[in-house]
Amino acid sequence: MLRVNDTRRLLDREGYAYIAIEEEPQQPELSQYRFLDIVPELERGPSRAREVAKCYLYKHQLEALRALEEGKNVILIAGTGSGKTESWALYTLRHRARTLAIYPTLALAEDQFDRLKSYVKALGGYEVLKVDASIVDEYNKRFGVRARAKLGEELSRALIVVTNPAFLMADFKRFATRGTSWLSEFIRDVDLIVVDEIDFYGSSRATLLLVLIELIVRFIARKRPRIAVLGATLGNPSDVAKYLTEINGRATVIIRGKAMKVLNRWILIVGKNIATIRDIARKIVNERSDLAVYRPFVEDEELFLRYVHVIVEELRKLGYRVPEPAIEPEKIIAHYVLSDEDGVTLVFTPSIRSAERLAARIKALLPPELHHKVAVHHHLVPKNVRSEIEERLQRGEIKVAISVRTLLQGVDIGIAVRVVHYGLSPDIREIKQREGRKGRRPYIPFTESIVIPISSWDHELLSLGVKGIREFLELSIENVYIHPDNEFVKIFRALSKFLMRASLSNSELEVLKKHKLIRYSKGLVGATYVLSDKGKRVWQYLNFYEFGPPYGYPRYLVEDSRSVLLEPVSRRDVVEKLQPYTFDLSNEAMVQRIDRDGVHEVKLSELYKLASVDPNIDEALRNYNYIKRKWGEDADIVRDILTAKVQSRVSILLDIPSKGFGTLREVPLSVQWVIEGSKRIVVVKHGEIFAYYPKEVVELPAESSVYYEELTYGYIVELPPGIEPADAKLAAAIIRLGFRFSRYRTPFREIAISVVENSRSPVVIMVWEPEPSGLLESVDWREIAETIKKLGTSRLHYILLKAIDDDAALYLISKYGGVWSKPIEVALRVLDAIARTVSGVILSIRPLYPSKQAIAIFMSTLRTGTSTAYAFAAIGDRYSKTAVCESMHELPCGEVIEAFRDVLVHAYSSKTKPIILHYAQGDMLEAVAGEDDTARLLLHQLVEQGLVIDVSTELEKRLGFKPSITELVEEAARIVGSRLCEEISIAKELVRVHRNSDVLNRLAKYSEAIARAIFVIATGRLSIPMSGLKRG
């Protein structure tokens, strides 16, 4: 067993108070097979192959292997450290199956690549090859016109090719337009396609990746390759399984696995000398009646520990010399270098400069001969140096590695025993990624997760106490939902097929025409469809990570009179985050300008020098200094930026689609410096302390012409009457929180809601998907409503509300005293307006059939002298039909019979199998169907299948009485509002109408009103507008 020191002993010795939480170990179920039983060659391979050879397979690994051997697709949902790579690699190795493995980036796949190389080398005669844009560029430079042939030679020897989705999509687009590409020859004979880390991408890009695989399988691969999808989470695995089966015709199995975890201790450090501080605070508070509100917090040890930083600050504001609960992180971390333990400690910091400074302070406490045991690992460190650091970590030669993000994924440091969070991220996914770096070997006795608070977010987390912190740490990772029929991927699929001259379905042709991506062109050989100018632009801009040109924005950092090339960024990031005068904390820099060469940044230390030549900076600093003096605080702009007391944000002019799918456009208007005070404003309510900081905003112009466009879903919703804009903004934040805590577990970034005030027009709510996933169209709004009703029961809800919208959380405290009941009522009203606009769902109805596709029908007759007028109306989900006619006989005329038959044909042949709803008209429907053999047969079949339902009977069961038709229509009108008022008045007037020229129209509207009322009451949804009148 590895020697691992217990940090609690150090903290006890140094006089620290801390909160400790234990996580129980977890051991996946083992099979009876070892890796060498499956692939005997591993035992004779390189060290990593030999290391795994004698290990027993986890049960989920064996299940995945067997499923693939049976010719099935696999969806494996398992956490970090569960051996997902080996789950498919065993099949590849055992059967020499040509495999395309897709990882988010090749940098993140570095460790997997090394493992795969070791396994494949054990077989002999095969290669593992990485292919992405940088490698292709290298081949082009080295071999010129022979580059593709040279790479093709190496691909012919490869058993596994590892790539990323950005390159794969660009390569497929090359194939679609040219008939060949870098990877097409390898893919033609591929046996297995693997998508790892599916949850890395978010719902929109994960869906796009699977649609890309669909196109690859159908238009490049000669075989029907198996597909393996791997990830820590997936929101709708059953739907994804059906989709994978549709792609290649193979059955798909869903397998769930556990990761191996040893005992882990979370240790959240509060500070030193807490007992002494509490004694001082208790004495002061008990002596002053105006501080009586704090007495419960100083008397209770656990409460004091939660709120110590707030209480100390309040007493210091009053002039008392109360010591700070200080923490010396460099001393704690230096101890890990000086100790005799065998393990490695990984430290994650918020920025590169904080990583460098922390490393320098740690080394200052160590003798020079131990400095090599501390290393900094970030993207500005040369790649070869980073690789060397990783190797030395794996050998235990480095005891402490400090990183920002570059050690989050892709590196397996087997003896990592501890993660130090120098500031804890509010992003659960990032926390899980950090935590996944440690404890990955069974011979580690226990691991530690150390939290050193450095920001107000960390102190908010401490205020949760043990129960709340555990609740936060146990939050499920955000879900990914796959919607392969959303409009964005429909466009990609249709354009791809159009350019490959493949046969298009009617719906694919319609989507291209609807968005004006093709036009009808007449030529010498006849007329045909060709790409429009818009279509060409959309095809060029359809790239994996963003809708835009297929290259990043160059970025430079000017330091010591030289320009250092940084990682390029997306066009969207330039618009939303990197406008002139915004801050780049990872490099401790500010954007100075944007020009044709790219984004230019300067170090924050140059701010005052720049102010002498840039009047905008000069004015902003003058305002900053004034605000700080007004608050009675020292002005230090660089310090405040680095400690997040001054943050930058870009004010965006947003133009979103108003009624569904369309073009979103973002234009930067200005840059705001949000200045936060250092002295909290404290509110004590309901036995808890709520603290917030005063804020002011300094505005600077956004001096760039860059804008961003995206194809996505958006809706403009009228704000319900009687709701103030500030309450609507709080409601918007609560709704987004509801999405996160619902079964959808939607990341905050996937749904955006904004309240727009304009003095010349009514207040509206903008709802959109920043990246197109189709979630808004498919979500169960009642599920979101039920989740919202349960919010406010935990302080964690308030803290996450702050993460969504700090101003909204402040408003909750300042107006409502932290009580959620009234804001939740407002949020439900706003949600109802959104649900009606987006999906036609009426949340105030308790429907009979909320989730079923349906068609409501009603047939009416009116005797007019010697003839009878007949009207038939059908209202449904994306379906409507109306027919009217007059007959001299007692039987209905042909137009009504034909319309009813059409409804039955539609219901019978539809994949969704909609239910047909009527209101006490079973006998009449049978009589009408009896006049047509097809209608009679179909009605009989649908009744047998339980798809024809009398709503009056179901309502009678629920209510105890059967409402009349008039009551039904009036109730639907009351719920819906004005939509049915016209139909009601027409219906009532009809009773008094005798023979006149407009009787057929009036009868049709009467039937439509009742059919719509049946639909609304039974489904809880608004029906679509009628498509027109068929007259006999």
| pLDDT over 50 at 995, yes or no | no
Sign of the dihedral through C-alpha 41, 43, 47, 53: positive
Nearest to 879 by CA among 1025, 980, 1005, 1031: 1025
DSSP sequence for 555-570: EEEEETTEEEEEEEE-
Determine the pLDDT at residue 1026.
35
Distance of CA 723 to the CA centre of its chain: 29
| pLDDT over 90 at 213, yes or no | yes
Q: Extract long-range pairs of 470-476: CB within 8 Å, 24+ residues apart.
A: 470/21, 471/794, 471/796, 472/796, 472/799, 473/21, 473/23, 473/266, 473/431, 475/428, 476/233, 476/428, 476/745
Decide: 736 and 804 in contact? Cβ < 8 Å: yes
- 152: part of which helix (H) or strand (E)? helix 147-156
Q: 855 is written with which tokens?
A: 């068609």
Nearest to 662 by CA among 619, 701, 716, 584: 716
* Confidence band of 34 (pLDDT split at 50, 70, 90): very high
pLDDT tens per residue, range 686-710: 788 888 888 999 999 987 788 999 9
Instruction: Scan for tokens 């392969």, then name that residue.
Output: 484
* Confidence band of 1030 (pLDDT split at 50, 70, 90): very low
| pLDDT over 90 at 524, yes or no | no
List the single range of 5-9, 306-310, 618-622 with lowest mean pLDDT: 306-310
For every residue of 161-205, which 3-state class applies, written as one string? EEECHHHHHHHHHHHHHHCCCCCHHHHHCCCEEEECCHHHCCHHH
Alpha-carbon distances, residue 1011 vs 146, 513, 949, 1008, 1027 (angstroms): 69, 32, 13, 5, 14
d(CA 161, CA 1030): 59
Same domain, 986 and 1002: yes
In a domain, 25, yes or no: no
pLDDT tens per residue, range 162-195: 999 999 999 999 999 999 899 999 999 999 999 9
Q: Which of 444, 473, 502 is the last residue of a domain?
A: 473
d(CA 477, CA 77): 12
In a domain, 19, yes or no: no
Q: Residue 333 phi/psi, 5° resolution? A: -70, -35
The CA-to-CA distance between both ends of the chain, in Å, stands at 87
Determine the pLDDT at residue 286.
92
Determine the pLDDT at residue 983.
54
Summarize the confidence of residues 229-235 as an average pLDDT: 88
Same domain, 40 and 169: yes
d(CA 424, CA 754): 28
Decide: 324 and 281 in contact? Cβ < 8 Å: no
Coil/strand/helix, residue 957: helix
Same domain, 615 and 512: no
Which is more confidently placed, 640 or 846?
640
In a domain, 74, yes or no: yes
Determine the pLDDT at residue 354.
86
Determine the pLDDT at residue 985.
56
List the single range of 47-51, 616-620, 927-931, 1025-1029 with lowest mean pLDDT: 1025-1029
Same domain, 994 and 903: yes
DSSP sequence for 261-297: B-EEEEEEEEEE-HHHHHHHHHHHHHH-GGGGGGHHH
Query: DSSP character for 357?
Result: H
Nearest to 809 by CA among 693, 686, 641: 693
Summarize the confidence of residues 240-265 as an average pLDDT: 94
Decide: 394 and 414 in contact? Cβ < 8 Å: yes
Residues 6+ apart with CB under 8 A from 996: none
Same domain, 873 and 978: yes
**Angle formed by the axes of helices 806-816 and 725-741, to 10°?**
120
Same domain, 882 and 979: yes
Amino acid making up residue 23: E
Summarize the confidence of residues 837-849 as an average pLDDT: 87
Q: Considering its fold, how many domains does the chain have in total?
A: 7
Coil/strand/helix, residue 961: coil
Bridge partners, residue 566, by sequence: 555
Determine the pLDDT at residue 167.
94
Determine the pLDDT at residue 525.
66
Same domain, 863 and 1010: yes
d(CA 268, CA 19): 5
Summarize the confidence of residues 846-867 as an average pLDDT: 85
* Confidence band of 141 (pLDDT split at 50, 70, 90): very high
Decide: 869 and 889 in contact? Cβ < 8 Å: no
Determine the pLDDT at residue 277.
93
Q: 265 is written with which tokens?
A: 């201790």
For every residue of 832-884, which 3-state class applies, written as one string? HHHHHHHHCECCCCCCCCCCCCEEEEEEEEEEECCEEEEEEEEEECCEEEEEE
Decide: 98 and 187 in contact? Cβ < 8 Å: no
In a domain, 90, yes or no: yes
Q: Extract long-range pairs of 355-360: CB within 8 Å, 24+ residues apart.
A: 355/402, 355/403, 355/404, 358/329, 358/330, 358/333, 358/402, 358/422, 359/402
Summarize the confidence of residues 755-772 as an average pLDDT: 88
Nearest to 333 by CA among 298, 359, 367: 359
What are the helix (H) ranges across 448-562? 456-462, 465-473, 487-499, 506-514, 533-541
Domain range for 297 is 274-325
Mean of per-residue pLDDT scores for the chain = 89
Determine the pLDDT at residue 52.
92
Same domain, 110 and 224: yes
| pLDDT over 50 at 826, yes or no | yes
In a domain, 548, yes or no: no
Determine the pLDDT at residue 1031.
33
| pLDDT over 70 at 635, yes or no | yes
Alpha-carbon distances, residue 194 vs 115, 210, 232, 493 (angstroms): 16, 11, 15, 20
Give helix then strand counts, H and E, for the chain.
Answer: 41, 37
d(CA 528, CA 412): 55
| pLDDT over 60 at 208, yes or no | yes
Nearest to 236 by CA among 260, 258, 210, 259: 210
pLDDT tens per residue, range 978-989: 455 555 555 455
In a domain, 681, yes or no: yes
Summarize the confidence of residues 53-66 as an average pLDDT: 95
Which is more confidently placed, 35 or 679?
35
pLDDT tens per residue, range 412-451: 788 899 999 999 887 787 888 888 888 878 889 999 999 9
Determine the pLDDT at residue 1027.
33
In a domain, 657, yes or no: yes
Find the farthest-apart pair of alpha carbons in the chain and give their distance in angstroms, rounded: 111
DSSP sequence for 563-611: EEEEEEE-HHHHHHT-STT-EEGGGTEEEEEEETTEEEEEEGGGHHHHH
List the single range of 344-348, 562-566, 783-787 with lowest mean pLDDT: 562-566
Whichever domain contains 56, its CATH number is 3.40.50.300
| pLDDT over 80 at 603, yes or no | yes
Same domain, 959 and 986: yes
Q: 340 is written with which tokens?
A: 């005799």
Determine the pLDDT at residue 107.
62
pLDDT tens per residue, range 946-968: 999 999 998 888 888 888 887 88
Same domain, 690 and 660: yes
Decide: 215 and 496 in contact? Cβ < 8 Å: yes
Query: DSSP character for 770?
Result: S
Bridge partners, residue 377, by sequence: 403
| pLDDT over 90 at 500, yes or no | yes
Decide: 28 and 56 in contact? Cβ < 8 Å: no
Instruction: Scan for tokens 């990761």, then name that residue.
Output: 259
Q: 531 is written with which tokens?
A: 């790409």
Neighbouring C-beta atoms of residue 568, cutoff 10 Å: 14
Q: 577 is written with which tokens?
A: 């985050």
Summarize the confidence of residues 735-740 as an average pLDDT: 96
Determine the pLDDT at residue 1006.
86
d(CA 3, CA 297): 40
Q: 696 is written with which tokens?
A: 């002011």
Residues 331, 334, 335, 336, Cα dihedral to 10°: 140
Query: DSSP character for 793?
Result: S
Q: 686 is written with which tokens?
A: 């309901």
Q: Which of 473, 507, 529 is the last residue of a domain?
A: 473
Determine the pLDDT at residue 512.
95
List the single range of 794-808, 862-876, 919-933 with lowest mean pLDDT: 862-876
Q: Which of 839, 870, 887 is the last residue of a domain?
A: 839
Same domain, 972 and 866: yes
In a domain, 846, yes or no: no
Residues 6+ apart with CB under 8 A from 169: 208, 212, 542, 543, 544
Instruction: Scan for tokens 């979630």, then name that residue.
Output: 775
Decide: 291 and 58 in contact? Cβ < 8 Å: no
Alpha-carbon distances, residue 412 vs 61, 385, 391, 434 (angstroms): 19, 17, 10, 12
Determine the pLDDT at residue 825.
96
Same domain, 168 and 88: yes
Tell me the HSE value of 80 on the side-chain side, using a 13 A CA sphere. 20
Summarize the confidence of residues 89-95 as an average pLDDT: 97
Query: DSSP character for 814?
Result: H
Q: Residue 59 phi/psi, 5° resolution? A: -60, -40
